[in-house]
């Protein structure tokens, strides 16, 4: 990355943070265009959009947990159109089978041979709609793809197109006919977020924008897949100082010895927090990670990986509150 960086306030009086924002606007217009594209269909939710962009740059999957009708599917479609990606949607139902996702071999009576027919997973962005409605056996069909960007079908390894990510949705309030996501599945999502209801004044704008046409239909690509892959490689090259690495490890280890938790953060969670922090630094126009990047990512990357004890759940304490408490206790590196 060819960028100008500031280590201290410059002669113009800008702080480091202000200088970084200027860098993003002047030197990385691709991210600004992408964010602007998504904001034309998802109103008043800039942080949710930022989380999605961080996940895209870090090459991680996204779990959107929210009530129906707040824009979960729309956000996934808008992201796919914005980066000109091959998009597939699977409506998860109790009778869905792994082969319906991965594909299978089909016998050709003319040639007398079996031919592999790829399933919908062979795309760039896969929308797993209402993922918790499928059985655990079907849910597990995504595990290898989410972790290794490949699918092993009938003993054959099939690489998936790049970039690849899964955007899964679920309704947290409807439990009839659903299967809770197992910890192994949750651990493979880089981030979990909720979009939430828009503010009243924002919802007025939503009504106006939908009065004549569908905003999603107007979205044009602002990036191509090659550019996304290039940015992902740049994110992987972001520098993380040893003090930041130690800071991440201290946060993770604190969850493993917290008596409010039955299960703390895994090593995969440690790696994903590091990846997300790199992507956040990139979004902020830096080629190095600072503690603020870790603090910003922690509430999105860590809570869904933790299992609370029964006493903690009945006490009304949430995983996000525990994460906030832990990062508040640990000394921030200077």
Domains, the chain, with CATH or none? 28-209+218-233 (3.40.50.300), 237-334 (1.10.8.80)
pTM of the model: 0.84
The first and second tokens of residue 213, run together, are 């046409």
pLDDT of residue 174: 62
Report DSSP state, residue 317.
-
Q: Residue 152: name the closest of 163, 139, 141 by CA.
A: 141
pLDDT of residue 177: 64
Measured from the Cβ of residue 246, the count of other Cβ atoms closer than 10 Å reads: 11
Cβ burial, residue 21 (10 Å; 0-12/13-18/19+) = middle
Distances (CA, A) of 186 to 122, 143, 153: 21, 10, 22
Exposure class string for 85-96: b at 16+ Cβ within 10 A, else e: bebbbbebeeeb
Cβ burial, residue 123 (10 Å; 0-12/13-18/19+) = buried
pLDDT of residue 224: 93
Measured from the Cβ of residue 228, the count of other Cβ atoms closer than 10 Å reads: 22
The structure tokens 């000394």 sit at 331
pLDDT by residue for the chain (334 residues), tens digit each?
333 333 333 333 333 333 343 333 335 788 989 998 898 888 888 899 999 999 999 999 999 988 877 888 889 999 999 999 999 999 999 899 999 999 888 878 887 788 888 999 999 999 999 998 888 888 888 888 998 888 988 888 899 999 999 999 988 766 666 778 888 889 999 999 988 888 888 888 888 877 777 888 888 899 999 999 999 999 999 999 999 999 999 999 999 999 999 999 999 999 999 999 999 999 999 999 999 999 999 999 999 999 999 999 899 899 999 999 999 999 998 8
């Amino acid at each position: 990355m060819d960028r100008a960086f500031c280590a201290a306030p410059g002669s113009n009086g800008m702080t480091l943070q202000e200088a970084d924002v200027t860098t993003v606007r002047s030197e990385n217009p691709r991210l600004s265009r992408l964010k602007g594209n998504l904001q034309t269909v998802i109103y008043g939710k800039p942080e949710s959009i930022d989380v999605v962009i961080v996940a895209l740059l870090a090459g991680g999957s996204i779990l959107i947990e929210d009530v129906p009708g707040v824009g979960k599917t729309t956000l996934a479609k808008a992201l796919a159109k914005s980066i000109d990606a091959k998009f597939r949607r699977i409506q998860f139902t109790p009778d869905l089978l792994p082969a319906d996702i991965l594909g299978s071999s089909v016998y050709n009576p003319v040639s007398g041979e079996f031919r592999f027919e790829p399933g919908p997973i062979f795309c760039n962005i896969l929308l797993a709609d209402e993922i918790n409605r499928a059985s655990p056996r079907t849910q597990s069909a995504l595990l290898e793809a989410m972790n290794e960007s490949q699918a092993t079908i009938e003993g054959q390894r099939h690489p998936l197109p790049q970039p690849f990510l899964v955007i899964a949705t679920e309704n947290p309030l409807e439990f009839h006919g659903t299967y809770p996501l197992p910890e192994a599945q949750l651990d493979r999502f880089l981030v979990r977020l909720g979009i939430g209801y828009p503010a009243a004044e924002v919802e007025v704008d939503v009504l106006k924008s939908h009065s004549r046409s569908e905003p999603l239909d107007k979205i044009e690509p602002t990036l191509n897949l090659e550019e996304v892959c290039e940015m992902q490689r740049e994110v992987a090259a972001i520098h993380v100082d040893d003090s930041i690495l130690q800071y991440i490890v201290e946060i993770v280890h604190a969850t493993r010895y917290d008596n409010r938790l039955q299960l703390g953060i895994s090593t995969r969670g440690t790696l994903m927090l590091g990846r997300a922090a790199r992507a956040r630094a990139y979004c902020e126009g830096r080629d190095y990670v600072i503690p603020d990047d870790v603090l910003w990512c922690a509430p999105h990357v860590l809570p869904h990986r933790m299992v609370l004890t029964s006493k903690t759940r009945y006490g009304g304490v949430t995983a996000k509150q525990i994460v906030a408490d832990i990062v508040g206790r640990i000394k921030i590196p200077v």
